[in-house]
Amino acid sequence: MIPLQNIKIAVDAIVFGYQNNKLYVLLIQQKFGKDESSWALPGGLVKEDETLQEAVQRELEEETNVSVNYLEQLYTFGDDLHRDSRNRVISVAYFALVDSSKFFIKADTDAENVQWFEINGIPKLAFDHNLIVNKAVERLKAKLTYQPVGFDLLPKEFLFSELENLYCIILEREIDRRNFRKKILSFGIIEETDKFSAPKTGRPAKLFQFNNQKYDELQREGFHFEIKFA
Domain extent, residue 25, equals: 7-143
How do strand 39-40 and strand 22-30 relate by DSSP bridges? Answer: antiparallel
Together in a domain, 91 and 203 = no
Q: How far apart are CA 153 and CA 34, in angstroms?
A: 34
Task: Say if residues 156 and 209 touch (Cβ distance below 8 Å).
Answer: yes
3-class secondary-structure state, position 197: coil
Residue 27 lies in a domain: yes
pLDDT tens figures, 178-224: 889 998 999 999 999 998 887 666 678 899 999 999 999 988 998 88
Instruction: Please tell me the distance from the alpha carbon of residue 127 to that of residue 87, in angstroms, as a whole number.
Output: 12
Regarding whether 174 and 122 lie in a shared domain, the answer is: no
At residue 138 the predicted structure's pLDDT band, cuts being 50, 70 and 90, is very high
* Closest among 204, 160, 154 to 183, alpha carbons compared: 160
CATH code, domain with 60: 3.90.79.10
Give the count of domains, the chain.
2
| pLDDT tens string 69-106 | 889 999 999 887 777 777 788 999 999 999 999 999 99
**CA 37 from centre of chain:** 23
CATH number at residue 193: 1.10.10.10
Query: pTM (2 decimals)?
Result: 0.90
Residues 108 and 12 in one domain: yes
230 is a domain residue: no
215, 168: one domain: yes
Q: Measure the CA–CA gap between 76 and 80, rounded to whole angstroms.
A: 11
